[in-house]
């Protein structure tokens, strides 16, 4: 899970002491000391999230306000996504693209009325903030929220737990956002997450983060969950991890994220193009791509890991695994990777090379487990 690229001293989130007191095993991740698991272990944490509710510390991620009447139009110059028509009180998935049509990061954008609220990945945080400051500062205020933590409450019991704390959250549906009072302070929340389950992400002032975490953990359904289970949960849900399944050399079309490229920004849309790499991406939409991200189900008990080569029946390299591991809900290994487009059809039989031996894998549809977002 380590995504550390420097010798800089590791940072700590406002919940560091709480993690340690809960017996977490702390590891370096994106420059932070983060809990990879708690004493119950990854499998039980994973299952608890799928059956009850898990609490995740995602305070290492970047939180940014874009303030001003031109914020949405300005942000559209960096993403292939419709931000101008994003309704107030809604959140949308977006991608920063580069000039060659690759993905610099994936992010969430919420419309809070007089401002946009942007959440970016921890490993790309400094780069993304610099990117926004460079390209947007002339048109809106780029305000980095250094003093806020971010918690995620995920699982089928998340809605009931949140409704006890803030009854107005019961009427929120998937991708709704709101400002609600929790532990006596305004928090920015969205009904969303990274597990495939119903749930909420909660931005809270850093000095109230531990109080909120303890309040949530006091509910019998809620248990703390580390980065290990976060990874297995998102993999089962078929969700991409930046730097693994998405990168600067791969377009959103190759990444099977066509659904995220809003119609108004496509070739025949009202605001076609106008973002970095638009010509490449619109060309990929029109003409197709030579490789695509697919789900993979290994037909053996052997987990197939990131970096494993994918070969066809003749042993010819046709792709690579970008995420892989054990899927506790499925009680079987799962993986994602890139294969030649001709081989991307569900049911295609291929092999992944594990320690020099071919392991049979089958191209499968994602998500591997049904998404259970709350849509009302």
Determine the Cα angle at 33 with ends 181 and 322, to 5°: 100
Q: Which of 237, 272, 306 is the last residue of a domain?
A: 237
* β strands within 238-331, DSSP E: 291-298, 309-311, 317-327
Please report whether residue 251 resides in a domain. Answer: no
Residues 6+ apart with CB under 8 A from 139: 68, 70, 71, 73, 74
Q: At 322, which CATH number?
A: 2.40.30.110
User: In a 3-state reduction of DSSP, which class is residue 232?
Assistant: helix
pLDDT at 281 over 50: yes
pLDDT tens across 58-80, in order? 999 999 999 999 999 999 999 99
DSSP class of residue 4 equals -
**Per-residue model confidence as pLDDT tens digits over 193-238:** 999 999 999 999 999 999 999 999 999 999 999 999 999 999 999 9
Indicate if the pLDDT at residue 6 is higher than 90.
no
Within this chain, do residues 155 and 227 fall inside the same structural domain, yes or no? yes
How many percent of the chain have pLDDT more than 90? 97
pTM of the model: 0.96
Q: Are residues 225 and 356 both part of a single domain? A: no
Show the tokens assigned to 234: 């998102």
Report, as an integer, the average pLDDT of 357-371.
97
Q: Where are the beta strands (DSSP E) in 121-164?
A: 141-144, 148-154
User: In total, how many domains does the chain have?
Assistant: 2
Residue 6 lies in a domain: no
Query: Is the pLDDT assigned to residue 1 strictly greater than 50?
Result: no
Last residue of a domain, one of 216, 237, 258: 237
Q: Phi first, then psi: what are they for 315, rounded to 5°?
A: 85, 10
The 10s digit of each residue's pLDDT in 129-183 is 999 999 999 999 999 999 999 999 999 999 999 999 999 999 999 999 999 999 9
Q: Are 247 and 63 in contact (CB under 8 A)?
A: no
- Any binding-site annotation on 309? no
- Please list, in sequence order, all residues whose beta carbon lies within 8 angstroms of the beta carbon of residue 151, skipping any fewer than 6 positions away: 55, 56, 57, 58, 59, 201, 202, 204, 209, 212, 213, 216
Both 151 and 233 in one domain: the answer is: yes
Q: For the residues 115-123, what does the mean pLDDT come to?
A: 97
Owning domain of residue 180: 11-62+147-237
Is the pLDDT score of 367 beyond 80?
yes
Q: Is residue 306 part of a domain?
A: yes
Q: Which CATH number goes with the domain that contains 185?
A: 3.30.1360.120
Q: Could you tell me if 336 and 245 are in contact, meaning their C-beta atoms sit under 8 angstroms apart?
A: yes
Choose one of 237, 254, 270: the last residue of a domain. Answer: 237
pLDDT band at 300; cut points 50, 70, 90: confident
> Kind and range of the H or E element at 209?
helix 209-217
pLDDT at 326 > cutoff 60: yes
Q: How far apart are the first and last CA of the chain?
A: 35
32 falls within a domain: yes
- Cα dihedral 278→280→283→285 (10° resolution): -70
Question: Are 226 and 38 contacting, i.e. CB atoms less than 8 angstroms apart?
Answer: yes
CA count, 13 A, side-chain hemisphere, 28: 10
Q: How many CB atoms lie within 10 A of CB 242?
A: 20
Taking each helix axis from N to C end, the angle separating 227-236 and 42-51, rounded to the nearest 10 degrees, works out to 50
Note whether 212 and 360 are same-domain residues.
no
pLDDT at 342 over 80: yes
Q: Does some domain include residue 253?
A: no
The answer to whether residues 158 and 223 belong to one domain is yes
**pLDDT, mean over the chain:** 97
pLDDT of residue 107: 98
CA pair distance 41, 359, nearest whole angstrom? 27
SS3 for 230? helix
């Amino acid at each position: 899970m380590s995504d550390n690229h420097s010798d800089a001293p590791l940072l700590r989130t406002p919940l560091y002491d709480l993690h340690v007191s809960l017996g977490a095993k702390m590891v370096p991740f994106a420059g932070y000391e983060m809990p990879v698991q708690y004493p119950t272990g990854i499998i039980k944490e994973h299952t608890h999230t799928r059956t009850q509710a898990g609490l995740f510390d995602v305070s290492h991620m970047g939180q940014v306000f874009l303030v001003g009447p031109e914020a949405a139009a300005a942000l559209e110059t960096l993403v292939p996504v419709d931000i101008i028509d994003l309704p107030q009180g809604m959140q949308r998935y977006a991608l920063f693209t580069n000039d060659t049509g690759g993905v610099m990061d994936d992010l969430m954008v919420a419309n809070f009325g007089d401002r946009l609220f942007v959440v970016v990945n921890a490993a790309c945080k400094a780069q993304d903030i610099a990117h926004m400051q460079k390209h947007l500062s002339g048109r809106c205020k780029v305000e980095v929220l250094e003093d806020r933590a971010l918690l995620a409450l995920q699982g089928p019991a998340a809605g009931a737990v949140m409704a006890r704390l803030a009854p107005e959250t019961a009427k929120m549906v998937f991708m709704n956002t709101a400002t609600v009072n929790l532990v006596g302070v305004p928090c920015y929340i969205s009904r969303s997450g990274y597990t495939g389950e119903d749930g909420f992400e909660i931005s809270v002032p850093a000095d109230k983060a531990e109080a909120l975490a303890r309040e949530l953990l006091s509910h019998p359904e809620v248990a703390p969950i580390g980065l290990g289970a976060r990874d297995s949960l998102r993999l089962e849900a078929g969700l991409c991890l930046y730097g693994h399944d998405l990168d600067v050399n791969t377009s959103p079309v190759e990444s099977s994220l066509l659904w995220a490229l809003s119609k108004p920004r496509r070739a025949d849309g009202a605001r076609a193009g106008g973002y970095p790499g638009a010509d490449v991406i619109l060309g990929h939409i029109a003409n197709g791509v030579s490789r695509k991200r697919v789900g993979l189900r290994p037909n053996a008990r052997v987990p197939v890991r990131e970096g494993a080569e994918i070969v066809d029946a003749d042993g010819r390299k046709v792709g690579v695994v970008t995420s892989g591991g054990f899927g506790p809900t499925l009680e079987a290994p799962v993986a994602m990777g890139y294969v030649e487009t001709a081989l991307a059809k569900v049911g295609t039989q291929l092999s992944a090379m594990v320690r020099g031996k071919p392991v049979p894998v089958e191209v499968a549809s994602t998500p591997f487990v049904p998404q259970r977002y709350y849509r009302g």
